[in-house]
Chains A and B, each alone.
Chain A
Amino acid sequence: MQVMELLAVAVVILLFFMILKQFGLWEPLSLDDSSDGGLELYVVRHQPEGLEELQSQTQFSRKELQSLYRGFKNECPSGLVDEETFKSIYSQFFPQGDASTYAHFLFKAFDTNRSGSIRFEDFVIWLSVLLRGSVTEKLRWAFNLYDINKDGLITREEMMAIMKSIYDLMGRYTSPSLREDVSREHVDRFFQKMDRNGDGVVTMEEFIEACQKDEEIMSSMQLFDNVI
């Protein structure tokens, strides 16, 4: 039959072209220019300043700086802590809860120049302030932590976020069990104590003044003075 013969011939021609393509002798389609560059994952490395400079900038002794750096380098060999590593490290201290939000706020507070990663110098300078600094400096730091957008004022929403993140650290299994509005009550208490003029925001002066009046807070600030 004619049709069958035509069909057979067509099949033969098709096979012929397929074989040609297989051998690369004929490219009907343009080949994809898949340059396999990929992401170059170049690792930033950072070396800290010398020991003497750090000693002058902080209140730590030489040995303390050495032991701090050893621990730091062990966890972050590149010399920089990015937010993910920071979160994972901090989460290990709170196995029952979710430390990521609070760690995020902490990271923002530590990362002063918004570079996205903490260097050893920043780390050790802040540590020196928190552990060996004056109470005023510590209070300043705490204010800085609560002030999420760093505009010099603590608003109710910021405080709510901070409080919620602290309660997140507790996790689910607490006694008494966490209710939804427990953080709001806490924030209300805080504002009651701190907000002098009742304008709904807390400024640095109000904060420091109110804390200095409260003995409990002052004594608890000294709690970690002998940590290292």
Chain B
Amino acid sequence: MAAGVAAWLPFARAAAIGWMPVANLPMPVAPTDKNKCQDELIVLNVSGRRFQTWRNTLDRYPDTLLGSSEKEFFFNEETREYFFDRDPDVFRSILNFYRTGKLHYPRYECITAYDEELAFFGIIPEIISDCCYEEYKDRKRENAERLMDDLEDSKDSKLPNMTFRETMWRAFENPHTSTMALVFYYVTGFFIAISVITNVVETVPCGSTPNQRDIPCGERYTVAFFCMDTACVMIFTVEYLMRLFAAPSRYRFMRSVMSIIDVVAILPYYIGLVMTNNEDVSGAFVTLRVFRVFRIFKFSRHSQGLRILGYTLKSCASELGFLLFSLTMAIIIFATVMFYAEKGSASSKFTSIPASFWYTIVTMTTLGYGDMVPKTIAGKIFGSICSLSGVLVIALPVPVIVSNFSRIYHQNQRADKRKAQKVQKARLARMRISKTGSSNAFLHSKRNGMLNQALELTSSTGEKRHLNKTTSIIESQHHHLLHCLEKTTNHEFVDEQLFEQSYLESGLQTFPSRSPSLSSREGITGTCCSRRAKKSSPPPNATHTHTLTHPHKHNLQELSAIHIQCGEQQTLNTSRSSLNMMQDESASLNCKSSSQVTTAIISIPTPPTNNSPCSPETPTNPPSNSSAGVVKVSAL
């Protein structure tokens, strides 16, 4: 139940008087407030700073440390206050959560410290209100990344048993790991540079032979260049083969961009070797040499910046594509206009629209070669408009690329948005569960309430009673209110899944008009006479959520609730729910008598907060441990 409305509970109960005249059945007894103490102030001493609040304020969230009896552990007898040895600054936000119902995350606070405090006080971080939730998640993600980076750095220390292949691969990927890797790195870099320079110098005309023509160096010193080329290609080939050998996934390596560049860089040489003798295809061979320039891309392995640039261009490909498209549109428009404008003038260079493309591009990029110039007035006007608009259009891609480049540096954003969406769903799911926890709490404590009444009747046998009302008064009053509503309408609240299940199974069978719930007439006596409730234990997982609402199957047996086999008590989590208490007391009751005592416990589909997984836990154990405390839910 939410925070402040606990104060409105008296009002809601008073409004329930409106149901009384139309009720079908007599109303249940109201829970009495035994210790009717007025609301009092309690003092919370957190590392010396004293906070004071009303006790009721803290009771609003009974599943947290401050709202439950767990705070009694911190009660200091001499000073009559609760002392917590924690951070007082963070405690401010936590206490405000109780007061206002909203949990805020202060920006100046460290994220891990805050998380620890929340965990200590039993508050789940998903409750952080929307105004601060985004900040909280961002900080948390940054922290996680930082931790991962630290982890990766520490991973670089060489693991003792790595195969030779793995060592080689690590050496290739990260040259700083060992000296050999560094040497290899520099050697390949050097040879790439040599190869590129060779290709360039090959085409420079150097010195003339007695023929009039200037021949390029490549043709003059053919042998030398050939030897240089061979050496480089050999080095590249060896490097490629070694990488191929060392790669953990060869197929993936062969598909990667870098390996394709490697292959393209060395392939022309081999093709050239094969084709040297045939003169006809030497023309094609010459063009293949163009691909040798791809060797320069091998530098990207050596340079981080080059890689980032490449990745940037790849990532903003769509924006660039769109801009190219709009640019093409503008070129076509202006070229058409210029063509028709210049059609009239004689000796015009604008012979066709495609011919005007060249003029338009040159003008729009403000190059202005001057080889094509408009001569008519109209042509000049449109030409000037073209160049003015060109400036604007060309200026557009630049911010796109810049912003993308900066986005690459924070490149996890896209992945994290996806992750955040998943977390958002998980967050909403958790909040929904804790909200339905309240309605489930009613169903669950309805049975507990019945148990209390049952035990009151059976207490005449003199058994020990641990009737410890651990549900807060507010909760019990709220449940009483819902119970009154049930009586008024003669219908019962059930769990959603059970409703679906029973709806499916029973079809449209009309139920008997008498209330299947515990009417005071027969239900309680039914629970007391538990001997007939010796149901064989079907697999608990299957039935303990299903046998809840089948009143038509077994008539009076249904009214008996769960029976607990006497046996050792499971180690249940110390939860603050009364479920735990129920188990304790029923176990203690059990072990005295041989007959099976019926208790009522509902299994609730794992809400994380309130009703801790006592019931879902126990059914997993019975197959192994038959004498263990098995909790089975039978119908009601």
Known: A224-B13, A226-B30. A93 touches B381 (CB 8 A): no
Asked if B495 CB lies within 8 Å of chain A CBs, one says: yes
Total inter-chain residue pairs, C-beta < 8 Å: 183
CB atoms of A5 and B8 under 8 A apart: no
Pick the interface stretch among A23-31, A38-46, A49-57, A135-143. Answer: A135-143
The residues of A that contact B485 with a CB separation of less than 8 Å are: 94, 166, 169-170
CB atoms of A221 and B17 under 8 A apart: yes
The residues of A that contact B549 with a CB separation of less than 8 Å are: 175
Partner of B33, one of A93, A96, A139, A226: A226
Asked if B436 CB lies within 8 Å of chain A CBs, one says: yes
Asked if B237 CB lies within 8 Å of chain A CBs, one says: no
Residue-wise, chain B 485-499 has the 8 Å CB interface mask toward A (1 for contact) of: 110110111111011
Asked if A153 CB lies within 8 Å of chain B CBs, one says: no
Interface of B is mostly: helix
Pick the interface stretch among B133-141, B197-205, B336-344, B417-425. Answer: B336-344
- Residue on A nearest B18 in the bound complex, by CB: A145
CB atoms of A89 and B14 under 8 A apart: no
Question: Nearest chain B CB to A226's CB is how many angstroms away?
Answer: 7
Asked if A78 CB lies within 8 Å of chain B CBs, one says: no
The residues of A that contact B511 with a CB separation of less than 8 Å are: 175-176
The residues of A that contact B24 with a CB separation of less than 8 Å are: 186, 189
Question: Nearest chain B CB to A120's CB is how many angstroms away?
Answer: 12
CB atoms of B18 and A5 under 8 A apart: no
Question: Nearest chain B CB to A164's CB is how many angstroms away?
Answer: 11
Partner of A71, one of B8, B18, B491: B8
Q: How far is the CA of A223 from the CA of B39 in the complex (A)?
A: 22
CB atoms of B32 and A220 under 8 A apart: no
Known: A174-B494, A174-B499. A123 touches B22 (CB 8 A): no
- Residue on A nearest B495 in the bound complex, by CB: A173
CB atoms of B378 and A175 under 8 A apart: no
In chain B between 254 and 277, which residues have their CB closer than 8 angstroms to a CB of chain A? none
CB atoms of A223 and B30 under 8 A apart: yes
Question: Nearest chain A CB to B34's CB is how many angstroms away?
Answer: 11
Q: How far is the CA of A174 from the CA of B482 in the complex (A)?
A: 12
Q: How far is the CA of A166 from the CA of B16 in the complex (A)?
A: 10
Partner of B494, one of A15, A130, A173: A173
CB atoms of B492 and A216 under 8 A apart: no
Counting chain B CB atoms within 10 Å of each CB, which of A4, A63, A172 scores highest? A4
Asked if A163 CB lies within 8 Å of chain B CBs, one says: yes
The residues of B that contact A90 with a CB separation of less than 8 Å are: 8, 12, 15
Asked if B20 CB lies within 8 Å of chain A CBs, one says: yes
Partner of A224, one of B30, B343, B435, B439: B30
Residue-wise, chain A 162-184 has the 8 Å CB interface mask toward B (1 for contact) of: 11001101111111111000100
Question: Nearest chain B CB to A165's CB is how many angstroms away?
Answer: 10
Q: How far is the CA of A71 from the CA of B33 in the complex (A)?
A: 19
Asked if A21 CB lies within 8 Å of chain B CBs, one says: no
Asked if B9 CB lies within 8 Å of chain A CBs, one says: yes
The residues of A that contact B468 with a CB separation of less than 8 Å are: none
Residue-wise, chain B 1-43 has the 8 Å CB interface mask toward A (1 for contact) of: 1101111111111111111111110110010110000110000
The 9 lowest CB-CB distance pairs between A and B, nearest first, are: A71-B7, A130-B14, A176-B511, A173-B499, A8-B378, A8-B381, A174-B491, A4-B378, A220-B27
Residues of A within 8 A of B (CB): 1, 4-5, 7-9, 11-12, 15, 63, 67-68, 70-72, 74-75, 89-90, 92-96, 106, 109, 123, 126-127, 130-131, 138-139, 141-142, 145-146, 162-163, 166-167, 169-178, 182, 186, 189-190, 194, 207, 211, 216-217, 219-221, 223-224, 226-228
